Structure 1
């Protein structure tokens, strides 16, 4: 039986080479550093530039990570897509490779779709993948998708597929919504992951499973210490330290900012490459980010240098 993921997970940054192809070597090194610092891998999330990565690329990258010894038990790849057949193909492929879970966006092109339509999408993925389907984590990020994962939808899906629908990532930024998910479902084994470590001190006492946060890419060890120590005497200090890093990166051009930080602290300039339509930080933004990181004594201990 697959062990359920808990703790802190990174929507893993995807490095690209000069020709804008995924850079497998750098991805493997980044994932190893994250795992060494106690983070799980939510591959192909929003901060992975997943919407800009093809089905074939996602499949080949997952296989390359496994071949490099990255454990499937630490992976929750994103397998949602606008086209149902793509979502089925990605979900089946990842499930066959033995990943611990699937992070599944709703289809996000059509807006104003009903819960019935979103229910049908998830149901078709589960039915078409079949008995070997990995646990599914519903991805609620309505500011991007405009397709919410409602409490009613969660209840319907859990009733129909109680052994497959395992939890949710709430990226809404709305604490009231995260709290409602926890209040309604956490006690029954539904694993709720808020999308910011800044919510851990509030969410963990209510039964949250951890967090899936962009800035785990930057601060995996610090966020893991908060997850482990939220009940202890240093909880306030651990939360404040994690918040300080989060506040530097959140908002604005978060993906190019994090990639610039990796490039800087790994002395590895190609890490700054993003895939269009994103663009790298300009010189002024780079200087501002560097100054704010110096102000909090930021570092990435043990990161492999070029």
Structure 2
């Protein structure tokens, strides 16, 4: 097992104004609150951030706003993976130029049934265009993307690009796959997408967690990380698992945003872009219970 720091990176929600433009002020305020609340860093512009409903220009402007607000670029792993290589390159060059810790990169995800060789070529195209300062965290979320990041693909990328392949986020929900990645590639940082798996992730030599519900429960998740070997471990694990379980029974992204809105007493945070819709009364009690349990 490779000993490494266990960290929480939050895939921060993207607040929207009444006209559904990015609400930069609330985005920055929420980001700062997450870090103050215990997050080691942020992974904005992933699934939870509604990134694929944002333009390239919107993502770049929002990332600039985080850095200009004083958040260290080394605490940022922004999502940059798009269907078009030119867009991925533009976003990845921008993040690298700002000094971000790395980028969280989906494979091109519209065309399904593509080969590992084709996905390798897609990553290679971006890495070679951006250059040696780029650090890539691969994003495995096959239930959404339809394009898996397989172990042979990871091996080939590491063989070709070495330390530029910095890590992987496994959002597949398959712990056996996460464990296999950690075992096969101990030199990269492998993050689980569920805080309930932090103890297993840490024990195997993983790097921690990038979880949607950390928008609501950063303090609880950080307490679990800090208390992994402490006497309150089981209680801390129960707390984060309880919050996670509630959200797993809800429309995830709208429910996370509604919970943040409830925590902040600010309904502006609940806005979503189509095709999502704001959670209704049928989910209000569950959202309120998640907020009650969170810390």
Cα displacement string for residues 7-36 of structure 1 (whole angstroms, at most 9, x for unaligned residues): 001111000000000000000110001111
Do the aligned partners of residues 142 and 299 (structure 1) sit closer, same or farther apart at CA in structure 2, a change above 3 Å counting?
A: closer
Give the equivalent residue in structure 2 for 1:284.
Answer: 282
Taking only aligned residues, the RMSD between alpha carbons, in angstroms, comes to: 1.4
Aligned-pair distance for 1:151? 0.2
Cα displacement string for residues 74-125 of structure 1 (whole angstroms, at most 9, x for unaligned residues): 0000000000100011000100000011100011000000000100011111
Q: CA separation in 2, counterparts of 1:117 and 1:64? A: 35
Matched, 1:216 2:214: yes
Cα displacement string for residues 262-285 of structure 1 (whole angstroms, at most 9, x for unaligned residues): 111211111111001100011222
Matched, 1:160 2:160: yes
Aligned-pair distance for 1:252? 3.3
Q: CA separation in 1, counterparts of 2:79 and 2:210? A: 12
Structure 1, unpaired ranges of 5+? 301-306
TM-score (norm 2): 0.95
Q: CA separation in 2, counterparts of 1:288 and 1:129? A: 44
Q: CA separation in 2, counterparts of 1:211 and 1:247? A: 16
Q: CA separation in 2, counterparts of 1:251 and 1:172? A: 17
Counting only pairs closer than 5 Å after superposition, residues 120-139 of structure 1 correspond to structure 2 as 120-133=121-134, 135-139=135-139
Do the aligned partners of residues 285 and 31 (structure 1) sit closer, same or farther apart at CA in structure 2, a change above 3 Å counting?
A: same
Instruction: Decide which of 217, 224, 239 is 1:226's aligned counterpart.
Output: 224
Give the equivalent residue in structure 2 for 1:140.
Answer: 140
CA contact (8 A) 2:250 2:283 kept: no
Give the equivalent residue in structure 2 for 1:88.
Answer: 89
Matched, 1:298 2:290: no
Aligned-pair distance for 1:182? 1.1
Aligned-pair distance for 1:144? 0.4
Q: Secondary structure at the match of 1:158?
A: helix
Give the equivalent residue in structure 2 for 1:57.
Answer: 58
CA contact (8 A) 1:265 1:299 kept: no
Counting only pairs closer than 5 Å after superposition, residues 130-279 of structure 1 correspond to structure 2 as 130-133=131-134, 135-186=135-186, 189-279=187-277
Moved over 2 A (4+): 287-290, 297-300
Aligned-pair distance for 1:299? 5.0
TM-score (norm 1): 0.92
Q: CA separation in 1, counterparts of 2:114 and 2:166? A: 23
Work out the number of aligned pairs and report it.
291
Q: Secondary structure at the match of 1:192?
A: strand
Q: CA separation in 1, counterparts of 2:238 and 2:5? A: 25
Counting only pairs closer than 5 Å after superposition, residues 38-117 of structure 1 correspond to structure 2 as 38-39=38-39, 40-117=41-118
